A and B are shown apart, each in its own frame.
Chain A
Amino acid sequence: MKSLIKSGVNVVDSHVNDKKDEDWSFIRKMMLGLHFGQYLGQALRNPFNWILGVIFAIGLPLIAYRFLFGLSVVTHASNDYPWGLFLGFGLFAMVPLSASGFMLGTTVEIFGRHDFEPVERLALLNGLLGYLFAVIYLLVDLGQPWRLPYPMVVSFGPAAVLFLVAWHVATYLSVQVAEVSVAFFEWIGWLGGKRFIRRIAIGLTVSGIILSTLHQGALGALFCYAPGKVHPLWFSASFQWIHFFCSSIPAGLCMVIAVSTIIKKTMAWRCDDNFLDNLDRCTLGLAKGASLALITYLVIKIIGIAHDNEWAYLATGWGAWFLFEMAVGVVLPIILFGYAIRHKIVGMARVGAFITVFGIVLNRLNTALITFNWQLYQEVPHIFEVIIAVTIFAIYVVVYRFILYRLPILYTWKAEPEAAFAADAAKATPVRMTTPAVEAVYRKID
């Protein structure tokens, strides 16, 4: 892509045809303004695509295998560990990592911190995709996935925490679709839809906060059904939902930092100056939020131990593992963030964010899988289960990238052809329209 831009290709970022010789059709937008050959060429040149290809070549047949022959052929079909990697990672880790949508929505829309706007759309998209793929992991794991809508329409178990999760994740997914659709409407050029969403943005954001608080917490509360099975250090009957909710905040924020770091390294051509120039500042801002949340999380974790008087467990092997999780996943990032913020070292904040993401994933795996049934035996997931989990994650990455390439998430869609946005259009047209390629080249150089 970089080399194509250098050679003067304009990437689609507006409805206005500056070349006048081709149609700005849907296809053109899909192909990023490249010719078919160019598109294919850049895709093939990217070594990452080859890795993805290998993963899909192995993983997709395995997914088909699972659906044709049942869960027992790809998992250990364990009655003691009913939830394996698909839920332990796919549901319990993906959902907190996707808390970014509501976090940034709140920051920007509710608290009016418009200085975070450059990353808001990325955060919303990250939230939407994370939830979507959590549901996909769930579909792979469910015994009878075609019955997924049952809790909504056929039979209700309203006293169940999972009932709450199902309803809230479903509702929240629609809320997030609405939030992200702004970018989609810009892209297809339907401004009516966009204006409508902008008008209900506050309502959407507030419902997003409510739903997120509840289902992030509810995922934790699910483990309250298994008080004897999860190791006491990872379990707290009264605080489990607060632990999960609270840790989802740094998880979501750090996921945005992590994703934006990857984007900056690999996809800078797609970002506009607004994104790139503000990213460092936003990163530090997010890091500040994340470190506050991590400190809170650390404190309530300690309160959780004190409340149930679990100090003795710390001296056991599990205790060492717990201390490792806390030291690496929580304390280390707090120190890194603190240092990074004080000395404005963005790179360090980024490292901290990656570590936090790792820490949260570890925490969820510990709760759902590793310390689960600590009094029985340790389950090691089936190799096929691991491959399928990786494959779905790869699909997630591909979809993520597909959208980032196209929709105005990282860049601002230019030249709105409508009077309501005339000011904008006026601003954008003269400056940007003529020189995006040149700009992109500059960006590459510096």
Chain B
Amino acid sequence: MSGISRRRFLAASVAGCAATTLAGPKKALAAGAFTGYSDSMGVLVDLTRCIGCRSCEAACNKEQALPAPDRPFNDMSIFDETFHGGTQKRRPDENAYTVVNRYEPEGSDEPIYRKVQCNHCNEPACLTSCFVNAYTKTQEGAVIYNNKVCVGCRNCMIACPFNVPGYSYSSAFDPIVKKCIFCHDTRLKNGLPPACVDICPQEALTFGMRKDLLKIGNQRIQTHPGRYVDHIYGEKELGGTSWMYLSSAPFDEVGFDANVSNEPIINNVKDFLGTVPMVLAIWPAMFTGFHLLAKKQAGHDNHDEKVEEQHGEEGGEQ
């Protein structure tokens, strides 16, 4: 019996080791967390300047060759549209990479408009959650997506803390994720500002190096005391984003999730990823050990044999 057990132990250990080596590179890559490029570009969105003209929506539609909208871009009644029992405003989807929403926060006589698009996070949740690595954070700061490898699990949509990516559910044979790509292919790559920034008549969108944008933002806050909330949304949120916002109203009153932490999403998952190699390393030896112990005990009172007999099991255990 012990001969067989030893052989089994070896076999099990080998299996365990194989599994461990298999997981080796996994861990190594997982540990090398990504922290964004220092020279990345970004956009500062100043909500106090935005007049809700929706030109950016139109420009994006054209630049990204998206389908024509149901209602024209100069139809401002679209701001009255709400969904799901009036709780939700419009959001980016497969037909629109960016949308502008209107808010009427208390204590402000003017409505506030907010443009929504992908924020191009420094440590994008969509990127880290994707199991085929469809996303790339480019040197310029854009988070782009490769539809050639996407399987369509939509984990990135679960993960995105800003609910940005949309999915072309209506396509049966080639559904893909659709989201703002910072106009990477057509503009950003060549050092040009994105289409929506270019067209904005109010200069509500400022394109530039992220670190410069932070300076500009802080300057505006300082030179116009009382005009802004003293906070740049996106400076630290979820590890920082390339697109950042200035606002005159508290951010949670104009559609932002003010409760997000400053930790990138991936940090939540690191606890678990860290335990993986542990389990792989410890479990095989531990359970094979249990097995040998159990075997020994069973041998003492002939438990095995008894049961074998009574069950007529040909188990091949002996």
A178 → chain B, closest Cβ, in Å? Answer: 12
Q: Is A327 interfacial (CB 8 A cutoff)?
A: no
Say yes or no: is B149 at the interface (Cβ < 8 Å to chain A): yes
> A residues within 8 A CB of B155?
82, 160, 162, 222, 225
Expressed in whole angstroms, the Cα–Cα distance for A315 and B309 within the complex equals 58
Q: Is the CB of B314 within 8 A of A228?
A: no
When C-beta atoms are compared, the residue in chain A nearest to B25 turns out to be A158
Write out the residue numbers on chain B whose beta carbons fall within 8 Å of the beta carbon of A202: 8-9, 11-12, 288, 291
Q: For chain B residues 208-265, which have a beta carbon within 8 Å of chain A?
A: 257, 259-261, 265
- Asked if B153 contacts A162 (CB within 8 A), the reply is yes
Which A161-180 residues have C-beta < 8 A from chain B?
A: 161-166
Q: Which residues of B contact A160 (CB under 8 A)?
A: 128-131, 133, 155
* Residues 28 to 83 of chain A near chain B (Cβ within 8 Å): 67-72, 75, 77, 79-80, 82-83
**Do A155 and B133 contact each other (CB < 8 Å), given the known contacts A70-B175, A214-B276, A376-B88?**
yes
Q: Tell which of A106, A150, A203, A241 touches B8, judged by Cβ atoms closer than 8 Å.
A: A203
B40-48, B65-73, B164-172, B184-192: which lies at the A interface? B164-172
Task: Tell me whether B272 and A143 are in contact (CB under 8 A).
Answer: no
Interface flag for B158 (CB, 8 Å): yes
Q: A82-B167, A160-B130, A198-B315 given as contacts; is B307 within 8 A of A377 (CB)?
A: no
Tell me the residues in window 127-162 of chain B with beta carbons closer than 8 Å to chain A beta carbons: 128-134, 149-155, 157-159, 161
Does B125 reach chain A (CB closer than 8 Å)? yes
Query: Which chain B residues lie closer than 8 Å to A198 at the CB level?
Result: 315-317
Q: Does A26 sit at the interface, judged by CB under 8 A?
A: no
Indicate with 1 or 0, residue by residue over B87-131, a CB within 8 angstroms of chain A CB atoms: 110010100000000000000000000000000000001001111
User: In the complex, what distance in Å separates the CA atom of A427 from the CA atom of B313?
Assistant: 10
Residue numbers in A under 8 Å from B294 (CB-CB): 110-113
Measured CB to CB, the closest approach of chain B to A134, in angstroms, equals: 13
Could you tell me how many residues of chain A have their Cβ less than 8 Å away from some Cβ of chain B? 83
In this complex, which of A164, A206, A412, A427 has the most chain B Cβ atoms within 10 angstroms of its Cβ? A206
Question: Is A164 a contact partner of B157 (Cβ separation < 8 A)?
Answer: no
A2 to B153, CA, bound (A): 46
CB under 8 Å from chain B, chain A span 291-350: none
A79 touches B314 (CB 8 A): no
A205-237: CB near B (< 8 Å → 1, else 0) gives 111011001100110111011111100000001
In the assembled complex, A118 has its CB within 8 A of some CB on chain B: yes
**How far, in angstroms, from A226 to B128 measured CA to CA in the complex?**
12
Interface residue? A17 (CB, 8 A): no
**Taking A150-B149, A203-B15, A228-B260 as contacts, is the C-beta distance between A412 and B312 under 8 angstroms?**
yes
The answer to whether B287 touches A209, judged by C-beta atoms less than 8 angstroms apart, is yes
Question: A154 at interface (Cβ–Cβ under 8 A)?
Answer: yes
Output the least CB separation between B171 and chain A (Å): 5
Looking at chain A's contact residues, the main secondary structure is: helix
Q: Which residue of B lies closest to A198 (CB)?
A: B316
Q: Inside 8 A of B265's CB, which chain A residues have their CB?
A: 225, 227
Q: Which residue of B lies closest to A69 (CB)?
A: B172
Residue B295 CB within 8 A of the other chain: yes
* Least Cβ–Cβ distance between B237 and chain A, in angstroms: 11
- Name the interface residues of A103-133: CB closer than 8 Å to any CB of B: 106, 109-115, 117-118
Contact B151 A77 (CB under 8 A): no
- How many residue pairs link A and B with beta carbons under 8 A? The number is 247
Smallest beta-carbon distance A446→chain B, Å? 21
Query: B76 contacts the other chain (Cβ, under 8 Å)?
Result: no
The answer to whether B279 touches A161 (Cβ under 8 A) is no
Q: Answer yes or no: A416 CB below 8 A from chain B CBs.
A: yes
**A432 nearest CB across to chain B (Å):** 9
Task: Say which one of B52-60, B199-207, B296-304 lies at the interface with A.
Answer: B296-304
Report whether A225 and B158 are in contact in the complex, using a CB–CB cutoff of 8 Å: yes
| Residue from B9, B131, B166 within 8 A of A157 (CB atoms) | B131
Which residues of A sit under 8 angstroms from B298, Cβ to Cβ? 112, 114
Beta-carbon contact of B311 and A144 below 8 Å? no
User: Is A238 among interface residues, defined by CB-CB distance under 8 A?
Assistant: yes
Partner of A159, one of B29, B85, B268, B314: B29
Query: In the complex, A220→B271 CA distance in Å?
Result: 12
Q: Is A159's CB under 8 angstroms from B279's CB?
A: no
Give chain B residues whose Cβ lies under 8 Å from the Cβ of A83. 154, 158
CB atoms of A225 and B149 under 8 A apart: no
| A109-B311 contact given A162-B131, A225-B265, CB 8 Å threshold | no
Whether B79 is near chain A, meaning CB under 8 Å from some CB there, is no
Q: How far is the CA of A82 from the CA of B280 in the complex (A)?
A: 31
A217, B269: Cα distance in complex, Å: 11
In the complex, which residues of chain A have a beta carbon less than 8 angstroms from the beta carbon of B9? 202
A166: chain B residues at CB < 8 Å are 131
A443 contacts the other chain (CB 8 A): no
B68 to chain A, nearest CB (A): 19
Task: Report yes or no: B150 in contact with A143, Cβ–Cβ below 8 A.
Answer: yes
Residues of A within 8 A of B131 (CB): 151, 157, 160, 162-163, 165-166
Residues of B within 8 A of A210 (CB): 16, 19, 279-280, 283-284
Interface positions of B (Cβ within 8 A of A): 8-9, 11-12, 14-16, 19, 25-26, 29-30, 83-85, 87-88, 91, 93, 125, 128-134, 149-155, 157-159, 161, 163, 165-167, 169-176, 257, 259-261, 265-266, 268-269, 271-273, 275-276, 279-280, 283-284, 287-288, 290-291, 294-295, 297-298, 303-304, 307-308, 311-317
Instruction: Report which A residues bind B (CB closer than 8 A).
Output: 67-72, 75, 77, 79-80, 82-83, 106, 109-115, 117-118, 138, 141-145, 147-148, 150-151, 154-166, 195, 198-200, 202-203, 205-207, 209-210, 213-214, 217-218, 220-222, 224-229, 237-238, 240-241, 274, 375-377, 412, 416, 421, 424, 427-428
Q: Could you list 9 further interchain pairs (A-B, Cβ under 8 angstroms) beyond the known A151-B131, A214-B276? A: A118-B311, A150-B132, A161-B269, A198-B315, A203-B8, A209-B287, A237-B268, A274-B311, A377-B87
Can you list 6 contacts pairing A with B, beta carbon distance less than 8 Å? A77-B170, A115-B307, A158-B25, A210-B284, A214-B276, A237-B268
